[in-house]
Amino acid sequence: MYVAVKGGEKAIDAAHQLLAEARRGDPSIPEISTNQIEEQLSLGVDRVMNEGSLYDRGFASLAIKQARGDMIEAIFLLRAARTTLTRFGYALPLDTAQMQIRRRISAAFKDLPGGQILGPTFDYTHRLLEEVLVPEPAKEAPQPILADVPKVLGLLGSEGLIELEFASDQPVGDITQDPPSFPMSRDQRLQSLARGDEGFLLSLAYSSQRGFGRTHPFAGEIRLGEVEVCFIPEELGFEIVIGEMTVTECEMINQFKGSGNTPPQFTRGYGLTFGHCERKAMSMALVDRALRAGELGEERSAPIHDEEFVISHADNVQATGFVEHLKLPHYVDFQSELLLLRQLRQDKDRAE
Amino acid sequence: MSGPHYNFAYLNEQTKRMIRRAILKAVAIPGYQVPFAAREMPMPLGWGTGGVQVTAACLTAEDTLKVIDQGADDTTNAVSIRKFFVKTANVATTEQTEEATIIQTRHRFPETPLKENQILVYQVPIPEPLRFLEPRETETRKMHALEEYGVMHVKLYEDISRFGEIATAYAYPALVNDRYMFDPSPIPKFDNPKLDQSPALQLFGAGREKRIYAIPPYTKVKSLDFEDYPFTLPTWEKPCAICGSKTSYLDEILTDDQGGRMFVCSDTDYCRKNQVAK
Amino acid sequence: MIESQAKALIFRSVLCAMSQPGRIVDFNFQMPSPPKGLSSEIATLLLTLCDFQTPIWMKSSTPEIDKYIKFHTAAPITTRKKNAAFAVVSGPDVDFSLSGFAQGTHEYPDRSTTILVQVDHLQDKGNIYLTGPGIAETQTFDAKNVSKNFWTDVIANHANYPLGVDLIFVAAMKLAALPRSTHVKIKEQL
């Protein structure tokens, strides 16, 4: 007699065991430590913190190790850990003008106050595989770390050539506390983009450069460095510094807006990420600018202009969950489709 | 991190409060999709995180929990979710429908009739019944606001003109309390009549889409149809090969590569009880 | 402070009441001792349901009560009914207008006020006849010390469905709810 399939529990336990073995790999090779990941795979750690929406290098390194290097899985682990943490308040806005700068470039001006600092970048390396990756001893003093360097877009602003941005007295939106509803405000949009998938934002940004919603961008300024995080505890009532974090900021300069009343001005796109995530910050700035099309009175014709499309599909934890859920059993629904299909074919045969 | 570090049922208190408020609103406006700030759970979005959050927000230490997927207690995802609640809430579990105070389900309504004070929690992938006809939330919200459901009737009518009958076999849309069109989650349409006037409270959680909706006990749930094409139920030519039930939903099992197949109850608890009764 | 597991039980009582309108639910918990003018039952509900995201409107309050609520829930106290996620109404004769509170919008009817009503006595017999979701046939109901206008208001509240407010009543160790979906008739009108 047929016995219904049993043993889900056993199967899961066995799968966990196999996963643990696969994660460890060949036991004769030394086990990798989370410190090694944190120090030597640091850009991976940055990406996981960024899209995982949690600034914690230790947790992110552990997540990468536990996920066997699968970045989206690691991001997911960090997000789930985030759910257990209690929110105790909002930090004050970061002041990126006060950043301790390690890298700062502008593609808009050849030279400018504070200068161009290449910092740690792949940009001008030849992408040749090298077996030995030990740094050469420094031939000259390392580049200085700069603070209080004026913002490039601020320099343009003093001439009135770029739109000004004003601080709002509205409370900042928080998509983790209030479910997003459309249309979104720019702060909610930027928050969604900040945790959005790097690949998805990169492709969207690329599509706009190729003509699906052209935005005419210049990389006004990209800066990387450390900023202080400040907080006002309710019981103290004054501002204290609670830590420091590494961020990458990208401010794009885009083509004009103007009307009968106001002279033409450059417009802005903004990107900010935890850690060193330059590609993401740039993509974010392009997408941000494109999503402002409506506000700036431009035609919304390309996928990148469609806020609901872009924001609803940018989160890779959501995306991977739903795509991969197709692995779960669907035999009840499949059976109902089978019944229906057979019924429809019978009806047709009878009719003929 | 090990067991003792988790809050009861994993979620922090503020998250539970937020979900509880959404549930109360959902109950007060049957069939209306209440937005809620769903959290990432330690299982993937799309794998029941909406149901898990609703269950976690409702669960008390006095509850007895049953978890089913495709009608069965032993499917891998049901096992995984049940284990999660045993680990984080140390809750009593059962496979017996009538013993459970909370039943979390994916894709089925149990065959055993539910009672008052039981809660059935559905895992929902796409809460919006109009989504495949209109992809934009901004539009579908308006359609619900105006009770403008003509587009769904057109779709069903097109089915009839093309196939001779309504070609929707699961996630079959229905009207709740004569007001909101809703998606009963991907249960087969075979189960739709069980939702109508059920004595149990039915809660629907869509984590990825961040929506919660509800059907209170004794609430009218009317599957959409037309006067000349009334709602019909699928039938099987044979009874369950194990328990002989002629009234339960059957899964098809392929037994060989020669076209051999058999049909057995998808609700394993119901099937076992039927066997014992015989 | 109410423990996590106690809060779960309290919520389930509220859920039970909300999903079976007019049904009197026992409210047997270790309750907090709030300052004078705020009942233990109302305090229990506020501490279970409210936090920094839910502005509360109070019909009558004292600085001690405001301080107590802010300390235990972090909820802002609002003076604008339309901003209130929750409202607390009590007094020997509950007389207030429901329509002044947030009713939700047609696209988001959930953006509405839930009103906690302190009454002297609740019973599942009386001149108020309830029908609708959550009720198998008809549920009789009565709440003591509410004005006659109040029921006219509740009837008008339902007429506005799906907009409207939801009501949670408390009396000594008892709880009942009237969501906006409930159809209300006063016996004389039958």
Q: What is the pLDDT of residues B80-126, one digit of tens each?
A: 999 999 999 999 999 999 999 999 999 999 999 999 999 999 999 99
Query: Touching check for A4 and chain B: CB below 8 Å?
Result: yes
B31/B10 Cα distance (integer angstroms)? 27
Which of residues 22 through 81 in chain A touch B, CB cutoff 8 A?
A: 76, 79-81
Instruction: Report how far apart, in Å, the C-alpha atoms of C128 and of each of A261, B27, C120, C155, C180 are.
Output: 63, 21, 16, 11, 15
- φ, ψ for residue A254, nearest 5 deg: -125, 170
- Map residue B245 onto helix, strand or coil: coil
Which of residues 83 through 112 in chain A touch B, CB cutoff 8 A?
A: 83-87
Tokens at A220, concatenated: 């006004």
CB-nearest partner of B218 from C85, C107, C134: C134
Q: What's the average model confidence in pLDDT over B121-134?
A: 96
Q: Are A45 and A71 in contact (CB under 8 A)?
A: no
B130/C46 Cα distance (integer angstroms)? 37
Query: C43 forms bridges with which residues in the sheet?
Result: none
At C127-155, the pLDDT tens digits run: 999 999 999 999 999 998 888 788 999 99
- φ, ψ for residue C62, nearest 5 deg: -130, 160
C171/C154 Cα distance (integer angstroms)? 19
Query: CA of B48, closest CA in chain A: separation in Å?
Result: 9
Question: What pLDDT does residue B232 have?
Answer: 92
Examine the residue annotation and report whether B265 is marked as an active-site residue of this protein.
yes
What is the four-CA torsion angle of A85, A91, A96, A99, rounded to 10 degrees? -80
pLDDT band at C92 (very low <50, low <70, confident <90, very high): low
Q: Which residues of B touch C15 (CB under 8 A)?
A: 20, 23-24, 27, 58, 201
CB-nearest partner of B208 from A87, A321, A336: A321
Q: Which residues of C touch B216 (CB under 8 A)?
A: 19-20, 133-134, 181
Question: What pLDDT does residue A10 have?
Answer: 86
Question: What pLDDT does residue B4 have?
Answer: 46
Q: How many other C-beta atoms lie within 10 A of the C-beta of residue A119?
A: 19
B54 burial via Cβ count (<10 Å: 0-12, 13-18, 19+): buried
Q: Is the pLDDT of residue B6 over 60?
A: yes
Q: Is the pLDDT of residue C48 over 90?
A: yes
Instruction: Report how far apart, in Å, the C-alpha atoms of C141 and of each of C123, C128, C131, C186 are.
Output: 6, 5, 11, 10
Q: Which residues of B touch C9 (CB under 8 A)?
A: 60, 62
Query: CA of B217, closest CA in chain A: separation in Å?
Result: 25
A177 with C53: Cβ contact below 8 A: yes
Question: What pLDDT does residue B225 have?
Answer: 94
Q: Which residues of A touch C108 (CB under 8 A)?
A: 181
Examine the residue annotation and report whether B58 is marked as an active-site residue of this protein.
no
Query: Touching check for B40 and chain A: CB below 8 Å?
Result: yes
- The ipTM value here is 0.96
Q: Is the pLDDT of residue A132 over 90?
A: no
A107/A89 Cα distance (integer angstroms)? 37
Query: Touching check for C53 and chain A: CB below 8 Å?
Result: yes
Query: CA of C95, closest CA in chain B: separation in Å?
Result: 23
B187 with A332: Cβ contact below 8 A: yes
Tokens at C101, concatenated: 């509170």
Question: What pLDDT does residue C128 have?
Answer: 94
Q: Which residues of A touch B255 (CB under 8 A)?
A: 2
At B150-175, the pLDDT tens digits run: 999 999 999 998 888 898 999 999 99
At A244-301, the pLDDT tens digits run: 999 999 999 998 877 667 788 899 999 999 999 999 999 999 999 999 999 888 889 9
Q: Is the pLDDT of residue A2 over 90?
A: no
List chains touching A (3+ CB pairs under 8 A): B, C
Q: Are A75 and A200 in contact (CB under 8 A)?
A: no
Q: Is the pLDDT of residue C76 over 60?
A: yes
Question: What pLDDT does residue B110 have?
Answer: 97
CB-nearest partner of C19 from B61, B177, B201: B201
CB-nearest partner of A332 from B80, B108, B241: B108
A192/A180 Cα distance (integer angstroms)? 9
Conformational region of residue B37, where left means phi above 0, alpha means psi within -120 to 50, and beta covers everything else: beta
Question: What pLDDT does residue B5 have?
Answer: 65
Residue with tokens 């998606």: B183
Which of B54-68, C57-71, C84-98, C172-186 bottoms out in mean pLDDT, i.e. has the lowest?
Answer: C84-98
Transcribe B113-154 into DSSP letters.
Answer: PP-TT-EEEEE-S---TTTTT---HHHHHHHHHTT--HHHHH
Query: Touching check for C71 and chain A: CB below 8 Å?
Result: no
Q: Which residues of B touch A181 (CB under 8 A)?
A: 35, 137
Q: What's the average model confidence in pLDDT over A54-77?
A: 97
A181 with C53: Cβ contact below 8 A: no
Residue with tokens 């682990």: A77
Query: Touching check for A118 and chain B: CB below 8 Å?
Result: no
Q: Are A267 and A250 in contact (CB under 8 A)?
A: no
Q: Is the pLDDT of residue A29 over 90?
A: yes
Question: What pLDDT does residue A1 have?
Answer: 44
Query: CA of B64, closest CA in chain C: separation in Å?
Result: 14
Tell me which of B31, B48, B51, B207 is the catalytic residue.
B31
Q: Which residues of A touch C53 (CB under 8 A)?
A: 177-178
Query: CA of A181, closest CA in chain C: separation in Å?
Result: 10
Tell me which of B3, B240, B244, B260 is the catalytic residue.
B240
Residue in A with minimal Cα distance to B266:
A332
At A88-123, the pLDDT tens digits run: 788 999 999 999 999 999 998 888 888 888 889 999
Pick the CATH number of C4-189 from 3.40.50.360, 3.20.20.70, 3.40.190.10, 3.40.50.11310: 3.40.50.11310
Query: Touching check for C108 and chain A: CB below 8 Å?
Result: yes
List chains touching C (3+ CB pairs under 8 A): A, B
Q: What's the average model confidence in pLDDT over B186-203?
A: 97
Question: What pLDDT does residue C95 have?
Answer: 62
Q: What's the average model confidence in pLDDT over A161-168?
A: 86
Conformational region of residue A46, where left means phi above 0, alpha means psi within -120 to 50, and beta covers everything else: alpha
Query: Touching check for C30 and chain A: CB below 8 Å?
Result: no
Residue A34: which residues within 8 A CB-CB, separation 6 or more? A58, A61, A62, A65
Helix (H) or strand (E) holding A11: helix A8-24
Question: What pLDDT does residue B1 have?
Answer: 38
The percentage of residues in chain B with a pLDDT greater than 70, rounded to a whole number, is 98
A340 with B6: Cβ contact below 8 A: no
| Cα Dmax for chain A | 89
A321 with B167: Cβ contact below 8 A: no
Q: Count chain A–chain B contacts defined by CB atoms under 8 A.
A: 167
Question: What pLDDT does residue C93 have?
Answer: 58
Q: Are A145 and A114 in contact (CB under 8 A)?
A: no
Q: What's the average model confidence in pLDDT over A318-344?
A: 92
B17 with C180: Cβ contact below 8 A: no
The percentage of residues in chain A with a pLDDT greater than 90, rounded to a whole number, is 60
Query: CA of C8, closest CA in chain A: separation in Å?
Result: 17
Examine the residue annotation and report whether B31 is marked as an active-site residue of this protein.
yes
Picking from C183, C135, C172, the residue whose alpha carbon sits closest to that of residue C17 is C135
pLDDT band at A142 (very low <50, low <70, confident <90, very high): low
A70 burial via Cβ count (<10 Å: 0-12, 13-18, 19+): middle
